[in-house]
Chains A and B, each alone.
Chain A
Amino acid sequence: MSALIIFGLFVVLMATGMPISIALGMTVLSFVFTMTNIPVDIVAQKLFTGIEKFEIMAIPFFILAGNFLTHGGVARRLIKFATSLIGHWHGGLGLAGVLACALFAAVSGSSPATVVAIGSIILPAMQAQGFPPKFGAGVVTTSGALGILIPPSIVMVMYAVATTGMQMTGPSGERVSSASIGQLFIAGIVPGLMLAFLLGLTTWYRAWKYGYPRLAKANWLERWAAFKDSIWGLLLIVIVMGGIYAGMFTPTEAAAVAAVYAFIIAVFIYKDMGLKDVPKVLLSSANMSAMLLYIISNAALFSFLMTNENIPQAMTQWIVDLGLGTIGFLLLVNLLLLMAGNVMEPSSIVLIMAPILTPVAVRLGIDPLHFGIMIVVNMEVGMCHPPVGLNLYVASGITKMGISELTVAVMPWLLAMLVFLGIITYIPAVSLFLPRLLGM
């Protein structure tokens, strides 16, 4: 019953268009005031303790690193490198764009940032070469979504944070621990590469079918030169992933190191940014981070209320009693998340849904790691379709195309992504293979 009241209240408040963080907070506040004996003071304290964890601090660091990379010349050099490798195949610049997005995703943790970084350079270039604008927009909008699947990823950090320390039991009553940030990052590698391949294939096929321009083949000398030029950006992949996997630093430390490293290459090595631009980057990163941290602290408040009312347990029991089985449950979760993806942005969805859905999934015998990757892929789809797909808005900002026009443009790639979502959902091995191999 209280579950219905809480969710009803939340949905109504959210429908008025108020910020999601405020809707979460107001729901908790009014419920606690009227229906429970919880001392209300706890609300204020939870707002502090909700973000008092070092793991969460990876988020501002990754955002800062991403902003330095977007403003610096890393993206341009990665595109040049990608172009020299595969620009002569069908799809030319478009195909190179997919590869460049995948490479940039491996240094940045956000999808819109990837669209901005790669799209703002490659889209005008593609138009200049005679590609239809729709084609370029479709490629970049969807490939940019790789940003949150290929590690590092802010959404994965959110999932780890939202489920950490939960009491979860498997089908036979054994305790299951939640997925760590490091595990999620490693688990994202294979699916990320696979999705990049699928999107590339779609691009290649359409370019081949419609006879879009290709580039002259670069020789190995040019490739080597492009590689050498982009080595500073590529090294960041080694630092972040290698550092975390080798246990040299925690994900948060890796993110801080990445931010300082990105600052150094942007300002001192590539010199695409002056010291005078640094305060602006700091301010916009702080703005974005504070917004996310505010949602996190209010979502922590919300899940505190949920736990206090025993809602996750009740929900688990209810769904288990429904007898959906794993297949039905996963289908339901996908539909639910795709629907939520229609109205909310990924961080909020993950923070609100993950604490409720993950215990159910674990109870049905689904690995929390696999479940996390599935949620991330789901969020990617949500970012690429209207009405609130953030990638779409970014792409529309770059191409000056309308949202409805863009929606049609991304369709072929979006279909490929939906097929991929099916693969990820029902073949756990795709996500679990690498972490298992590495003994994580």
Chain B
Amino acid sequence: MEEPLHKLYVMLAFTAVVFVVYMAAMIRANGARTALTHLLDHLEETLISVLIGAATVLIFVAVVQRYASGVRVLYPYVSGINLGWAQEACILMFVWMAKIGAAYGVRTGIHVGVDVLVNRLKDRPRKALILFGLLCGALFTAVVGSFGLKFVLARYGFGDTTPEMEMPSWIAYLAIPIGSYLMCFRFLQVAFWFWRTGHLPVHDHGHVDGLDETPALSAIADSDLFPKEPRR
């Protein structure tokens, strides 16, 4: 399996070049510290968006291919494509998405807890408890990240591969240390901001896109969507 690995390295090198150019531009524009945090933010967001989109398209294509190869006219065109690896690729993409996205979620405040009790407390103990929770998050992710790293290094030594794609399995497992350390960083970041300003990122489940545009809404209510002349 020289060939796919070779491609992988080319891809990685290409990504590295793009990355360096991008970073150089960002640092020149905003200074090193802002550039770094912005880069991390963008990287997180772009990566998880691309992963969920790509996995969807991949599984859709695999399904279409399966049915297309049952059609006589299409058979010669699609039968040569082997998509047996699609399922495994999808799982790996989603594992990566889950780990990186969990870190992004700390920043957006989507990880919900049971805050009924905490919110009844007075300001000081409440702040202390919330900080404790955030630091527990940082501790847990740091521990998991370190064990994950140990695990990845052991896998690297084994040199084993995933069953379908025959990709080195340590690359797959790398999601755990990277995701966990990133999450740890986000917990510390949020804890720091909370300590300084007393604000937490809150994910507003009640927020509805476009609802603030009241003219649009009355337009809907007035439109022919609803028959006129309500009767008693």
Contact = CB atoms under 8 A, between A and B. Distances in A.
Interface residues of A, number: 90
B225 A215 contact: no
A294 B105 contact: yes
Contact of A57 (B60, B94, B175, B229): B94
Contact of A18 (B101, B133, B176, B210): B133
Interface in B201-227: 203-211, 217-218, 220-222, 225-227
B52 A286 contact: yes
A387 interface: yes
Contacts of A285: 52
A47 B148 contact: yes
B136 A17 contact: no
Contacts of A398: 206, 208, 211
A283 B49 contact: yes
A14 B112 CA distance: 10
A53 interface: yes
B48 A286 contact: yes
Interface string A67-86: 00001000010011001100
A259 B133 CA distance: 36
Interface string B39-67: 00000010011111101110110110001
Contacts of B119: 17
Interface stretch (B13-21, B30-38, B72-80, B137-145): B137-145
Interface in B87-137: 87, 90-91, 94-95, 97-102, 104-105, 108, 110-119, 129-130, 132-134, 136-137
Contacts of A15: 114, 117-118
Contacts of A129: 221, 226, 230
Contact of B56 (A26, A61, A215, A395): A61
A425 B225 CA distance: 40
Contacts, number: 255
Contacts of A128: 218, 221-222
B113 A17 contact: yes
Contacts of A395: 206
B231 A283 contact: no
Nearest to A59: B94
A51 B228 CA distance: 51
A60 B52 contact: yes
B59 A61 contact: yes
A331 interface: no
Contacts of B91: 52-54, 57
A16 B118 contact: yes
Interface in A197-239: 211, 213-216, 218, 222
A290 B136 contact: no
Given A53-B91, A83-B227, A216-B228, A260 B56 contact: yes
Q: Indicate the member of B51, B111, B147, B206 with the most A CB atoms within 10 Å.
A: B206
6 contacts: A29-B140, A29-B144, A84-B227, A92-B230, A287-B108, A397-B205
Given A43-B143, A124-B217, A287-B108, 9 more contacts: A16-B113, A18-B113, A64-B52, A120-B208, A125-B225, A282-B53, A286-B49, A290-B97, A293-B98
